[in-house]
Amino acid sequence: MKHEDTLAKAHKEQIEARLQQGKAKLDGLEATAKERKAHAEIEAIKALRAKRDEIQGRLHEWKAVGDAKTAQVKADI
């Protein structure tokens, strides 16, 4: 495996880990907001989840593309 491939894989794993941390935080915030019936917070959380899903989709795309497109997909994320 090339050094660049190793670095790209490590970067992808770091992004995945951060997405998982974000998911856990959003789940906690949503539960708290639902308990308080805070509609504005719930809507903000939904928007954040949509953005997270978009990033996850791009991450999966990144995994599927070759080295030529890696820089572009990484910049998009």
If one counts every other C-beta atom within 10 angstroms of the C-beta of residue 7, the result is 10
Q: Which tens digits make up the pLDDT trace of 48-70?
A: 999 999 998 888 887 777 666 66
Q: Tell me the one-letter amino acid at 6.
A: T
Range of the domain at 72: 3-76
16 Cβ partners below 8 Å, 6+ apart? 59
The rounded radius of gyration (Å) of the Cα atoms in the chain is 16
pLDDT, tens digit, 9 for 90 and up, residues 22-49: 999 999 988 888 888 888 888 898 999 9
Tally of domains in the chain = 1
Both tokens of 53, joined, read 């899903």
Residue 2: both structure tokens together: 């090339």
In tens, the pLDDT along 7-21 reads: 788 888 898 999 999
